[in-house]
Homo-oligomer: A and B are copies of this chain.
């Protein structure tokens, strides 16, 4: 109760299965007394490209020096528009939880969501030169990735053609969230909702509702190579 939740949502169709998962999460978490903010990236027409056009001098980024080449690279990585700073950083430093909802595209996030990570989680806000992983700047926060796949659970198993699904979680959970100091809850994966019966899809939605009821009691995973690659 009283927890602040940010949901970053990346599906263009409200009637999609991801849309249903989102709706359930908003309803259930609100019912629990959480304060829920949804960033609906397609509806916002979120700009995923990290371009030089939106570079602004950001006082937290001490090493910003546009004259040297190496700093240009750093600059491009840290670029951010004022609106984003205001909306996404100052407002949300207090968020306790990030949910990301999306369909898996090519073993990874859709570009629009990857762009959110590229542009919002900048140096000085999410991490710093010597502050990363367990020392990252977003400690005491939790994250959870919820996504749908095209392939089946069998394909995403050890020995399946797509390999263990945990392999695709490494860059997202460890490379992004853990890097920033954020703790990671078990992902929520709905396999191939397109190819199952309507009844099975309903079961998947019920399971999600059930999970949300005890979500705050869950322990984060131990985010180290062993979890991913055994």
Contact = CB atoms under 8 A, between A and B. Distances in A.
A12 B53 CA distance: 10
A87 interface: no
Contacts of A115: 48, 111-112
A51 interface: yes
Contacts of A121: 106
Contacts of A107: 170-172, 174-176
Nearest to A117: B106
A174 B170 contact: no
A105 B118 contact: yes
Contacts of A228: 167
Contacts of A175: 106-108, 162, 168
Interface in A1-59: 11-13, 15-17, 42, 45-46, 48-52
Which of A45, A72, A148 has the most chain B CB within a 10 Å cutoff? Answer: A72
Contacts of A229: 167, 229
B69 A110 contact: no
Interface in A170-196: 170-172, 174-176, 179, 193-195
B76 A13 contact: yes
A166 B158 CA distance: 17
A42 B48 contact: no
Nearest to A114: B111
A171 B42 contact: no
Nearest to A168: B171
Contacts of A220: none
